[in-house]
């Protein structure tokens, strides 16, 4: 079993839709939870970072962590074509980072 599981998609939505991206994990020791956005042939860009259960909001993005269920989510409101990218979840424990395989999102104009 992988440490972090993420649906690879692709996920295709119309512009303006609410997008929900999810990851599950198996290691209850994970302390930090992150979401990265990666455009084609570029390095990942940090979007959200949290270390506690609950919600964290930043503009159109909301990160949600449920440690009891070992489940994290990223919600994107009013999605735009420029949001089309691969979204990677990441978790950290003992100074090591573990990444999901990424979900490819396509927002259609």
b/e per residue, 29-65, with b = 16+ CB within 10 A?
Answer: ebeebbbbbeeeeeebeebbebeeeeeeeeeebbbbb
Structure tokens at 80: 């735009």
Question: 28 vs 12, 58, 74, 76, 100, CA distance in Å?
Answer: 31, 26, 19, 26, 16
Token match 């990223």: residue?
A: 74
101 binds other proteins (CB under 8 A): yes
Pick the binder of other proteins from 1, 29, 43, 59 (CB under 8 A).
Answer: 43
- Least separation in angstroms between CB 93 and other proteins: 9
84 binds other proteins (CB under 8 A): no
Number of shown-chain residues binding other proteins (CB under 8 A): 24
47 binds other proteins (CB under 8 A): no
Structure tokens at 3: 């440490």
Nearer to other proteins, 42 or 108 (CB): 42
32 binds other proteins (CB under 8 A): yes
97 binds other proteins (CB under 8 A): yes
Positions that interact with other proteins (CB under 8 A): 4, 6, 8, 31-32, 34, 36, 41-46, 49, 88, 92, 95-102
């Amino acid at each position: 079993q992988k440490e972090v599981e993420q649906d690879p998609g692709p996920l295709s939505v119309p512009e303006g839709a609410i997008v929900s991206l999810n990851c599950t994990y198996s290691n209850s020791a994970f302390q930090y939870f992150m979401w990265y956005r990666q455009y084609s042939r570029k390095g990942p860009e940090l979007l959200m970072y949290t270390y506690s259960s609950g919600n964290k909001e930043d503009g159109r993005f909301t990160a949600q962590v449920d440690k009891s269920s070992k489940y994290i989510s990223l919600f994107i409101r009013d999605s735009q074509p420029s949001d089309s990218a691969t979204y990677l979840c990441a978790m950290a424990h003992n100074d090591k980072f573990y990444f999901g395989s990424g979900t490819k999102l396509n927002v259609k104009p």
